Structure 1
Amino acid sequence: MELEVRHLRALCAIADTGSLHRAARQLGVAQPSLSTQLRRIEQELGGALFRRERTGCRPTPLGRLVLSRARPLVAEMRSLVAETRAAAAGGPQLRVGSTASRALAGWLRRLRARGQEPTLHMDVSPNALLRMVADGQLDVVFVHEVEGSPLRIPEGLRLRVLVEREPQFVSLPADHPAVGKPVVGLRDLAHDRWMIDPTVDGEWDAVQRMFRAAGINPRVLYGDYHTAAALVATGEVVTVCQPSCLPRPEMAVRRLAGDPLGVRLLLAARTETDLDGVHPALEEAYWEAAREAPAYREWLERSAVPATPLTT
């Protein structure tokens, strides 16, 4: 077996996500296939590259050595491909990465209106996106940092805070008994099934802390945002959601009493110039989305959050 760029990319993904499951999801392959590939790479190199622990995968000393050589090679190859595609398309493109946000559509629309032509790479892992910027695969990323779970910021990146603390709300079926309240207590939801995406960096840890602080131990299912939204609509679960999430006839959005969950919203790039070129458009798009969400708009008005342009 000869090592190829795809093998090096797999090793970097495992190291960045700390998990075979999350790495497989990022790479778009099945986890058993990635596990088999890792075993073959380790056999080829003559030693274990990762320790398989209960909390995930951690590089061994040999793994760290291999990764120190693999990362620059993978970054150079991706940069070569991106630059070649941009040249073939007739000009440079702005490579944008993001976790999920309702502000995305407005942000991309504004960037295009200002003469930029963005491409978009979505990922549930903020840490993976930050690593892609550091490696030269993306130009700028918009990510969230879950309170109590600091992100791993690669050396040399420049950060800009969009929102210091965005409260997280809850999405619940429209016929749920708690819908009659403008603010919902966790004990109102203690007997519900919750759906959480465990692949989102820090989210499950934060939700567990929230449950413990409230003295509840609800049933928990695991799934992504799309599955959670579908199950909320059919009355199966409740789930944490962003405050800019819009209600629908079958789904309500409510503030959680005491705002027990929060995230910090960040832009990251390699230079201040890159941040300057995209921050105004994102800021406009974010507050546009906030104005459209009734529960979030009410929370912002009541909280008197500074520098909140809700009246424009």
Structure 2
Amino acid sequence: MELEVRHLRALCAIADTGSLHKAARQLGMSQPSLTTQLRRIENALGAELFTRGRTGCRPTPLGHTVLSRARPLVAQMSLLVTETRAAAARADGARLRIGSTASRALAGWLRRLRQRLPGTDISLHTDVSANALLRAVAAAQLDVAFVHEVEGCPLRVPDGLERRVLVEREPQFISMARDHPAAAAPVVDITDLADDRWMVDPTVDGEWDGLRRVLAAAGIDPPVLHADYHTAASLIVVGEAVAPCQPTSGPRDDMAIRPLRDDPLAVRLLLCHRPDDDPPALYDTAYAELAAAYREAAVRTSAYRQWLLRHGSPLLLAG
């Protein structure tokens, strides 16, 4: 077996994330496939490159040596691809490559951008990891990234990226079954959910750490299930779990969405880009249309609109 750039990229991803699961997600492959690939690489070299344990994967001394040679090669290849794509883009015409974590504002943002920027090739890439999107912007694989930063869990923003704050503190609401006892009140006290099973997606940067901090501060230790939020919805509607959700989450007949008292869970919404790449006017337009799309999504949702009114939000004034 001859080592290829994709093998070196896999080794770097495992070292950077410290986890086969996270590295597989970053590389867009399954964990079993990455595990098999690593085993073949180690068999070809005749030695282990990583030690596996409960705390994750750590490079062995030989692994550190291999990584020291692999990283410059991977970086050079990424640079070659990026520069080639950039040259092709300049030849083909204007384009805007957008990255985003999950947001109800995305559809409206894309619609507005296509209206404001006719003739521009606009593409969208979504990822649960805000940090992965920021790395893609820094590597010129994306032009802008709309991400959320969980309060108390700062993102690892690469040097040189410019950040624009869309919402300084967006409260996270709670979703529960329509017939949950706490759903009878317009605002829910987090201690009323102490006996419920909470669901959280640990692959979303900062999500689990932020929730754990808030639960501990409230003095409760409910059972927690790690799963994606699509799975969470099916369990929430039958009363098997509750979960944090974005305040722009639309009303559902089978689910209640309520704000938490004193808003203990919150995120900051950011738009990030490279400051020296494209004309500033393009990013000004991207930000302005994102703000308008987010405002539309916010006021369309009754519970969030009432929250904004109670707090005198500048979002409403801007609208």
Alignment match, 1:38: 38
The farther-off stretch of 259-268 and 270-279 is 270-279
Q: Distance in 2 between matches of 1:120 and 1:186?
A: 36
Superposed CA deviations along residues 160-215 of structure 1, whole A, max 9, x for unmatched, are 11111111111111111111111111121111111110101111011111111111
Maintained 8 Å contact 1:198/1:222: yes
Whichever residue aligns with residue 291 of structure 1, its letter is V
Residue 291 (structure 1) aligned to one of 299, 306, 309: 299
Percent identity at matched positions? 60
Maintained 8 Å contact 1:194/1:238: yes
Residue 3, structure 1, aligned to residue 3, structure 2: yes
- TM-score normalised by length of structure 1: 0.89
The gaps in structure 2 that reach 5 residues or longer are none
Alignment match, 2:284: 276
Maintained 8 Å contact 2:137/2:143: yes
Q: Secondary structure at the match of 2:98?
A: strand
Aligned pair count reads 309
Q: Distance in 2 between matches of 1:182 and 1:122?
A: 32
Whichever residue aligns with residue 315 of structure 2, its letter is T
Whichever residue aligns with residue 136 of structure 2, its letter is M
Whichever residue aligns with residue 227 of structure 1, its letter is T
The gaps in structure 1 that reach 5 residues or longer are none
Q: Secondary structure at the match of 1:299?
A: helix
Q: Displacement of 1:97 after TM fit?
A: 0.5
**Residues 83 and 176 of structure 1: is their aligned pair in 2 closer, same or farther, counting only changes over 3 Å?**
farther
Superposed CA deviations along residues 6-62 of structure 1, whole A, max 9, x for unmatched, are 324434443554432122123332212212223434555677655656444456643
**Residues 290 and 47 of structure 1: is their aligned pair in 2 closer, same or farther, counting only changes over 3 Å?**
farther
Q: Secondary structure at the match of 2:77?
A: helix
Alignment match, 2:212: 208
Maintained 8 Å contact 1:172/1:238: yes
Alignment match, 1:142: 146
Alignment match, 2:20: 20
Alignment match, 2:132: 128
Maintained 8 Å contact 2:12/2:70: no
Maintained 8 Å contact 1:17/1:127: no
Alignment match, 1:106: 108
CA RMSD across the alignment: 2.5
Q: Distance in 1 between matches of 2:48 and 2:140?
A: 28
Q: Distance in 2 between matches of 1:303 and 1:293?
A: 15
- TM-score normalised by length of structure 2: 0.87
Q: Distance in 1 between matches of 2:28 and 2:309?
A: 42
Residue 316 (structure 2) aligned to one of 306, 309, 312: 309
Superposed CA deviations along residues 132-179 of structure 1, whole A, max 9, x for unmatched, are 111111111001111111111112111111111111111111111111
Whichever residue aligns with residue 28 of structure 2, its letter is G
Q: Displacement of 1:75 after TM fit?
A: 4.4
The farther-off stretch of 230-239 and 22-31 is 22-31
